[in-house]
């Protein structure tokens, strides 16, 4: 499973392209297609295709996430998709009979792109499906998939054991207040950050970590206080304010093989305000969602399904 997923995404990045959907949402393909040009000191946006990025995506998505496998045949349920879209849409419910669609559509998974919303760092996937009308009559056993992203193998998709050094901490009031910095759990700091010289009185270093968009964040990591503990000071408050973090949200750090750091966020589940808070909701909502599928079936072409693993 892990290997397959990695392959799938590597393919995506090789044939990188950017469609209209990328207008507001930052997508991996766009960013990784930016060349290796030397970038300015306070900017950087070119996540590599290393496995640590995939791991970061999965960790941000939550460990329970599983994804459809590229190349597999899945079943797309228009009704299910419509209901899901309706739940986050401001428009009144629509009648599925408007579209001349069968209740189940067999599709091959052509592509699975791991993406992240540029506005709020929400992770999501774009699944590219190609209808397979010749399979319309077969038995469902084994190869089925719900409309949105339940993998055949159940919950086996998170790359737990290939992420040796990572931690995730729910932010406290002190972490998010402007009064101080971020208190790093001891184990976390020792696992993920370069070691400090504990013989010094207040050993410190600069950490640089990239988020899902390839943006670099810099933090001063210091070991001080009585009792002594690990803290992130300078740079932390900027990160909190730019990402709009509040206590209850979580931040996570990953250390790659080469020692490079990645960081991501996982927001606390907040009461829904009824308005779609991400581009995903809009892309999946009326009147597009089913007409696109219907058109794909009619023309035997591909269509896209967006999927937010966390909802």
Residues forming the site for DNA (CB under 7 A): 172-175, 178-181, 183, 185-187, 201-202, 220, 222, 224-231, 233-234, 236-238
Q: Which is nearer to a second copy, 120 or 160 (CB)?
A: 120
Nearest CA among 85, 77, 19 for reference residue 282: 85
Count of residues that bind a second copy according to CB under 8 A: 22
State which of positions 47-76 bind a second copy (CB under 8 A): none
Distance, in Å, from the CA atom of 243 to the CA atom of 237, rounded to the nearest integer, reads 10
- Per DSSP bridges, beta strands 303-307 and 229-232 are unpaired
Cα dihedral value 30, 31, 34, 38, nearest 10: 170
- 118 binding partner (options DNA, a second copy, none; Cβ < 5 to 8 Å by kind): a second copy
Residue closer to DNA by CB (options 228, 310) is 228
Q: Is the peptide bond before 227 cis (omega within 30 degrees of 0)?
A: yes
**Least gap, CB of 53 to a second copy (angstroms):** 15
Contact string (CB under 8 A) for a second copy, positions 196-225, x = contact: -----------------xxx----------
Contact positions with a second copy (CB under 8 A) in 8-37: 18, 22, 26, 30-31, 33-35, 37
Question: DSSP strand E in the chain: where?
Answer: 73-76, 105-116, 123-131, 165-170, 182-184, 204-210, 216-224, 229-232, 250-255, 261-266, 303-307
Q: Of these partners, a second copy, DNA, none, which one is at the site of residue 249 (CB under 5 to 8 Å by kind)?
A: none
Mark residue 293 as left, alpha or beta (left: phi above 0; alpha: psi -120 to 50; beta: remaining): alpha
Query: Cα separation of 260 and 80, whole Å?
Result: 41
Residue 6 CB, nearest distance to a second copy (Å)? 23
| Minimum CB distance to a second copy smaller for 171 or for 212 | 212
* CA–CA distance, 171 with 54 (Å, rounded to integer): 24
153/67 Cα distance (integer angstroms): 9
CB nearer DNA, residue 193 or residue 303: 193
3-state DSSP of 55-117? HHHHHHHCCCCCCCCCCCEEEECHHHHHHHHHHCCCCCCCCHHHCCCCCCEEEEEEEEEEEEC
Query: Quick one: 74 or 231, whose CB is closer to DNA?
Result: 231
User: What is the nearest approach in angstroms of DNA to the Cβ of residue 265?
Assistant: 16
Cα–Cα separations (whole angstroms), residue 287 to 86, 290, 293, 302: 10, 7, 11, 18
Which entry of a second copy, DNA, none binds 149, CB below 5 to 8 A by partner kind? Answer: none
Complex with DNA: residue 229 or 310, whichever CB lies closer: 229
Binding track over 76-115 against a second copy, x by CB under 8 A: ----------------------------------------
How many Å apart are CA 204 and CA 193, to the nearest integer? 11
Nearest-angstrom CA–CA distance, 280 and 85? 10
The least CB distance from residue 188 to DNA, in Å, is: 7
For the window 223-262, what string marks contact with a second copy as x by the rule CB under 8 A? -------------------x--------------------
**What are the residues binding a second copy (CB under 8 A)?**
18, 22, 26, 30-31, 33-35, 37-45, 118, 213-215, 242
């Amino acid at each position: 499973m892990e290997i397959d997923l990695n392959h799938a995404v590597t393919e995506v990045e090789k044939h990188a392209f950017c469609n209209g959907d990328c207008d507001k949402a930052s997508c991996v393909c766009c960013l990784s297609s930016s060349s290796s040009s030397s970038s300015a000191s306070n900017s950087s946006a070119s996540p590599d295709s290393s496995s640590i990025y995939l791991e970061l995506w999965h960790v941000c998505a939550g460990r329970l996430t599983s994804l459809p496998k590229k190349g597999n045949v899945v079943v797309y349920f228009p009704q299910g998709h419509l209901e899901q879209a309706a739940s986050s849409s401001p428009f009144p419910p629509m009648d599925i009979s408007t579209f001349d669609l069968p209740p189940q559509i067999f599709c091959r998974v052509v592509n699975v792109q791991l993406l992240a919303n540029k506005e709020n760092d929400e992770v999501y996937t774009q699944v590219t499906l190609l209808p397979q009308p010749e399979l319309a009559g077969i038995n469902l056993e084994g190869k089925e998939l719900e409309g949105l992203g339940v993998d055949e193998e159940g919950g086996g998709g998170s790359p737990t054991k290939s992420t040796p050094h990572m931690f995730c901490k729910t932010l406290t009031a002190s972490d998010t207040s402007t009064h101080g910095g971020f208190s790093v759990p001891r184990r976390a700091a020792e696992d993920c950050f370069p070691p400090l010289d504990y013989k010094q009185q207040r050993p410190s270093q600069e950490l640089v970590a990239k988020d899902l968009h390839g943006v670099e964040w810099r933090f001063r990591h210091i070991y001080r206080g009585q009792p002594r503990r690990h803290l992130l000071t300078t740079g932390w408050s900027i990160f909190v304010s730019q990402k709009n973090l509040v206590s209850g949200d979580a931040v996570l750090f990953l250390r790659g093989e080469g020692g490079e750091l990645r960081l991501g966020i996982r927001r606390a589940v907040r009461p829904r305000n009824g308005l779609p808070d991400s581009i995903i909701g809009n892309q999946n909502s009326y009147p597009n969602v089913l007409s696109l599928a219907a058109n794909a079936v009619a023309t035997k072409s591909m269509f896209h399904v967006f999927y937010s693993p966390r909802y």
